Structure 1
Amino acid sequence: MVQPAFTDPQPLRNHARGTYNPQTQVCASCGVRQFALFGALDEAALAQIHYRIADITLEPGQTLYAAQDSGNAVFTVRSGVLRLERSSEAGERRILRLAGRTDLLGLEAILHQTYAADAVACTEVHVCRIPRALIDELSAEHVEITRDLMKRWQRALDDADEWLTELARGPARHRMLRLLLKLSEFGDENGCIWMPTRQEMGAMLDMTFETASRLVSALRREGVLHAVDARQARLDMDALMRVLKEDSASR
């Protein structure tokens, strides 16, 4: 497993003794803070916990945590896309779902369980590592954090259910169209999306490399997808919604 680069926790602890803490600036300028786990806390409460949160940067392909690792922290995604995946005893890989900006990963750690899947960066990713002990302490003092955790757990369950019902069943073309719609949720303001490899599409959609290649080529001809580079594409949402409507009508 490739270890992520993260802020050294020792300098962060020095903040408690009054020295400069770089994480304070990270939290203060965070673009997702109002949507993050501690968004309900006021400035004074946030100032007391900055030194316990680590800022982590991952390059594509790096692993944030692995299945069966001891779960001692959760992670808020500030930017980028990660995939949650498992491998069978036979070595077959299956991508369970994707996670992106504002998602909270590793929730099983709150129950003192091991992580249920590998969390791997698809793009450059920035996350904040939040120790389980900190969540336990704050949950006892702030009931709204416990309520927010329950909402995020339900959101993760809903995402898993959607993945199973929309992306793992039905005709191959329908699954591919639904995947592109899901990827649009992680796209930028110009309509650019992270483009999985054909092998990754197969692991997401339970289809062969050849089927994934054929479907992507067809959607390019139809003007739904426009290649930007090897790992990015521009998605025409109007064309995608039109094709999805036609696909649903023909089923």
Structure 2
Amino acid sequence: MPATIIPLTPQEPLFNPQARVCAECGVRKFALFGVLDHAELDNIHVHIASLKLEPGQSLYEAQGSGHAAFTVRSGVVRLERNNERGERRILRLAGRSDLLGMEAMLGQSYAADAVACTPVEVCRLPRTLVDDLTREQPELMRDMMKRWQRALDDADEWLTELCAGPARYRMLRLLLKLTEYADGGEIWLPGRQEMSAMLDMTIETASRLVSSFKRDGLLLPTTPRHARIDHTALAAALRDEASKL
């Protein structure tokens, strides 16, 4: 997994070029360090690593020693682990500006496997860096707690909205969820096995539902792993399914 090190040690009296890389990042205002101003960024004395992953590559593994958290700059990451029956389950997805591996900030091991679904770019935030900054910047700790709560809310949403109810309704809810990670109007389209692991349904059921959505024009594939959504048709289908619950 290649890593590009972005040194943030000040080399100029004011705002150094290396720290400017972080300051000018497109997701910084949404990310954990968004609460830091330019001068505060200039005083960071550790290295932040920018990592790039290809689809299927692991960012970290469950039970692995947690020494860093990660901000997603681009792409989609899935969090997954085995259940008590040894079945692989996808717990949730993470996308642009999401913070992953927050359990590492408490010195805990990672709770799930984090795997790239698409080409992904993340920034690695060492625990020591976050520890130092949260002592000096109380608002950073509050922001991190908000992100932790958002991750818990996302996990609850997956459990209540995507793993309960009729199969067609769950699949429609998944398509709606995937629009949150759309890139240029296209969604990443999970494989049938991934859909099965997300929605607690058989691969055959997932395949049948996707085929029906394609026939109805609701799902418009552009590549084997990307598609466009007819949002009007999706909203109508969701209203129809919800009326049956």
CA deviation map 1:9-63 (0-9, x unaligned)? 7xx38x4567xx9853531331111111011111011122275211111111110
Cα RMSD, aligned residues only = 1.8
Q: Distance in 1 between matches of 2:23 and 2:115?
A: 27
Q: Residue 218 of structure 2 aligns with which residue?
A: 224
Q: Residue 140 of structure 2 aligns with which residue?
A: 145
**Matching of residue 236 in structure 1 with residue 226 in structure 2:** no
Q: Distance in 1 between matches of 2:29 and 2:135?
A: 21
Q: Residue 197 of structure 2 aligns with which residue?
A: 203
Q: Aligned-pair distance for 1:223?
A: 1.4
**Matching of residue 181 in structure 1 with residue 176 in structure 2:** yes
Q: Distance in 2 between matches of 1:23 and 1:187?
A: 30
User: TM-score normalised to the size of structure 1?
Assistant: 0.91
**Matching of residue 7 in structure 1 with residue 9 in structure 2:** no
Structure-to-structure mapping, 1:151-190, within 5 angstroms? 151-189=146-184
Taking a change above 3 Å as real, the CA distance of residues 22 and 220 of structure 1, as seen in their structure-2 partners, is farther
Q: Distance in 1 between matches of 2:80 and 2:165?
A: 21
Q: Aligned-pair distance for 1:89?
A: 6.5
CA deviation map 1:79-130 (0-9, x unaligned)? 1000000024664211000000010000100110000000000000111000
Q: Secondary structure at the match of 1:127?
A: strand
Of 23, 36, 55 in structure 2, the residue corresponding to residue 28 of structure 1 is 23
Name the aligned partner's letter for residue 215 of structure 1.
L
Q: Distance in 2 between matches of 1:50 and 1:170?
A: 50
Q: Distance in 2 between matches of 1:17 and 1:119?
A: 35
User: TM-score normalised to the size of structure 2?
Assistant: 0.93
CA deviation map 1:188-213 (0-9, x unaligned)? 23x21000000000000011111000
Name the aligned partner's letter for residue 7 of structure 1.
T
Q: Aligned-pair distance for 1:250?
A: 2.2
Count of aligned residue pairs for this structure pair: 242
**Matching of residue 248 in structure 1 with residue 242 in structure 2:** yes
Q: Distance in 1 between matches of 2:225 and 2:35?
A: 36
CA deviation map 1:113-153 (0-9, x unaligned)? 00000000000011100011111111111110011011001
Taking a change above 3 Å as real, the CA distance of residues 51 and 22 of structure 1, as seen in their structure-2 partners, is farther
Q: Secondary structure at the match of 1:67?
A: coil
Q: Distance in 1 between matches of 2:36 and 2:117?
A: 31
Q: Distance in 1 between matches of 2:214 and 2:73?
A: 31
Name the aligned partner's letter for residue 106 of structure 1.
G
Q: Distance in 1 between matches of 2:53 and 2:215?
A: 34
Q: Secondary structure at the match of 1:227?
A: strand
C-alpha contact 2:46 2:129 (8 A) present in aligned 1? no
Of 79, 91, 95 in structure 2, the residue corresponding to residue 96 of structure 1 is 91
**Matching of residue 49 in structure 1 with residue 44 in structure 2:** yes
List gaps (5 residues or longer) in structure 1.
Answer: none
Taking a change above 3 Å as real, the CA distance of residues 171 and 93 of structure 1, as seen in their structure-2 partners, is same
